[in-house]
Chains A and B, each alone.
Chain A
Amino acid sequence: MTETKEDHRQFKTEEDFDKKFFKDIERRSNIWQCIQCGTCTASCESGRWTALKTRMILRKVVLGDLSVLEDPDIWLCTTCYQCYERCPRDVRPTDVIMELRNYATKRGNISPNHRAVVGYFKKFGHAVPINDEIRKRRVELGLEELPPTAFKFKEEGDDKDLIKFEEHLFDLPPLKEEKKKEEEKK
């Protein structure tokens, strides 16, 4: 928001810290209005059972504590929007967590399972690709064996859409561990 407020923050890691990105979070999520009341944590369905503490995450962002990007807990949000709905200050915690995940992904903090889902999207155009059993069921039900999506066109020899997905969308950085190994080799 205002420039003077920015001065209060203590950034713990300055390296590859994208101020613009945090500004973006502020602009989209009203995060400066957070009064740390804890309604988000209390409403959190995931936090009831896991270590996810939404209020803490918001606090860390406000303080510019970048360890939050390494925090595995930001990946435990089910995006149920309960905190978003109930926040008395109109902060949008779900949006904050989404932005943080984007930023964490840029740093290579992305789980292998999630990486696989992106792979499916690039290869098939679906996060959930079809299998033989479902093909059979579709025919039994009197539907086309394949829905008319990009994947069907690929099957018919026209894979230009999927090649473009592969080239232009969701370009993920290498895994963190891989990064470390590369550095060790050097």
Chain B
Amino acid sequence: MPNRYPAIEKSTRFVMKKLGYEILEMERASCCPAPGVFRSFNKVDWMVAGARNLCIAEKLDADILTVCNGCFGTLQEINKHLKENEEHRDIVNEKLKLLGDYEFKGTINVRHVAEVLGYEVGPWGLEDIITRKIAARAAVHYGCHFLKPTRLREIESSEGPTIVEELIEVLGVESVRFKEQLTCCGAGGGVKAYDGKASDTIFEEKMKNINDVQPDFILDICPFCHLEYETAQDQLNKNKGCNYDYPVIHLSQLVAYCMGMDREFVGLQYQLMGKEYNFGVEEAKKEEEAA
């Protein structure tokens, strides 16, 4: 996220600060590492590298806030697994010594920003803090690793989640249902790197379904889905003669804007798609006047 979508980072910092959370920097952290690719190559090393990041947060005595489904998937899963499985904890701790002064103790939790906003702050908590509303229709994309596997995540059902919908309703945004809404964006699991064509085909269908309902923007909670939605729209336009131009917005950006962050910091000017979009501010103003 900090290396591709700094605007999402900026927005998240703004939102958490507004809500009274203190953000600590995880010095010397590394990539989570990504659950699709790195776990595929060597599961033990994947756990070791992830545990190293967890140890950094343990030293700070703070929970980890992730803004990405991939980071959440990796860190939440490793954290939970190592807390429960003593055998693996010993193996990981042994290997961690090679990387420096690290020992996994299992003292913290890993959270996702959508879950913190959706459940801990809640729509009711957000309602009091926001300074403006947006009148828009959004296609909400949950992505995969935020909710699944439900056995490990324990957030809510993966077949009919409402956590993001309920949250954005308070912001004035209507979530439009579309066909096969909860399927994958097609980029995960290392497929985008392995076989770009297969990934594009999955995405093409997804995009068709979104186009059918004509939303104002696509709302995601994961920078990797974000990347897929931005770059693959562009690819479809170039290679398949499509004409898609949907802005892609992360939940943090939307909430930050509604909490009053300046538009230049929300980062819409960096959008690859839907550059014209400006949260429909004009309409919102008119509505206010009418009310």
A171 and B98 CA atoms in complex are apart in Å by 14
Chain B 44-77 interface 0/1 with A at a Cβ cutoff of 8 Å (1 = within): 0100110000000000000000000000000000
A residues near B176, Cβ cutoff 8 Å? none
Roughly how many angstroms separate A75 CA and B43 CA in the complex, as a whole number? 15
Contact residue among B6, B49, B159, B205 (Cβ-Cβ distance under 8 Å from A143):
B6
Whole-angstrom CA separation of A111 from B41 in the bound complex: 11
Give min CB distance, A134 to chain B, whole Å. 6
A153 is contacted by which of B28, B31, B159 (Cβ under 8 Å)? B28
Interface size class of B (residues with CB under 8 A): 35 or more
What chain B residues lie within 8 Å of A138 (beta carbons)?
2, 6
Inter-chain contact A75/B45, CB cutoff 8 Å: no
Which residue of chain B has its CB nearest to the CB of A146?
Answer: B2
A46 CB within 8 Å of chain B: yes
Tell me which residues across on chain A come within 8 A of B287, comparing CB atoms: none
B239 on the A face (CB < 8 A): no
Given A49-B198, A143-B10, A102 and B191 contact (CB-CB distance below 8 Å): no
Instruction: Enumerate chain A residues within 8 angstroms of B201, measured Cβ to Cβ.
Output: 49-50
**How far apart are B189's CB and chain A's nearest CB, in angstroms?**
4
B199 — which chain A residues lie within 8 A by C-beta? 78
Q: Does A37 contact B (CB under 8 A)?
A: no
CB-CB contacts below 8 Å: B194-239 with A = 194-195, 198-199, 201-202, 205
Residues of B within 8 A of A129 (CB): 3
> Within the assembled complex, what's the spacing in Å between the Cα atoms of A99 and B42?
9
Question: Whole-angstrom distance between the alpha carbons of A168 and B42 in the complex?
Answer: 12
A148: which of B3, B6, B26, B158 is its contact (CB, 8 Å)? Answer: B26
- Cβ–Cβ contact A75 & B3, under 8 A: no
CB < 8 Å neighbour of B27 from A50, A75, A128, A148: A148
**With A80-B183, A85-B150, A168-B99 given, is the CB distance from A128 to B4 under 8 Å?**
yes
Q: What is the chain A residue whose CB lies nearest that of B206? A: A45
B125, CB-defined interface residue at 8 Å: no
Pick the interface stretch among B32-40, B162-170, B242-250. Answer: B32-40
Q: How long is the Cα–Cα vector from A120 to B99 in the complex, in angstroms?
A: 18
User: Which of chain B's residues have a CB closer than 8 A to the CB of A114?
Assistant: 37, 40-41, 190, 193-194
Set of chain B residues within 8 Å of A148, measured between Cβ atoms: 25-29
Whether the pair B39, A98 counts as a contact (CB closer than 8 A) is yes
Complex CA–CA separation, A170 to B34 (angstroms): 13
B124 at interface by CB-CB < 8 Å: no
The answer to whether the Cβ of B105 comes within 8 Å of any Cβ in the partner chain is no
Residue numbers in B under 8 Å from A125 (CB-CB):
30-31
Interface: B144 (CB within 8 A) = yes
- Residue B100 lies at the interface, judged by CB distance under 8 Å to chain A: yes
The answer to the question of B186 belonging to the interface, with a C-beta cut-off of 8 Å to chain A, is yes
Taking CB as reference atom, which chain B residue is nearest A74?
Answer: B40
Q: In this complex, which of A78, A99, A161 has the most chain B Cβ atoms within 10 angstroms of its Cβ? A: A78
18 additional contacts, CB 8 Å, given A85-B149, A117-B190? A45-B184, A49-B202, A79-B36, A79-B144, A80-B183, A81-B149, A102-B40, A105-B41, A114-B193, A121-B38, A121-B49, A126-B3, A126-B30, A127-B37, A142-B10, A147-B9, A168-B98, A171-B42
Give 12 CB contacts A-B under 8 Å.
A75-B191, A78-B189, A79-B188, A80-B148, A80-B184, A114-B40, A121-B31, A126-B31, A143-B6, A148-B29, A169-B99, A170-B42
B residues at A contact (CB < 8 Å): 2-4, 6-7, 9-10, 25-31, 33-43, 45, 48-49, 95, 98-100, 144-145, 148-150, 158-159, 183-184, 186-191, 193-195, 198-199, 201-202, 205, 265, 267, 270
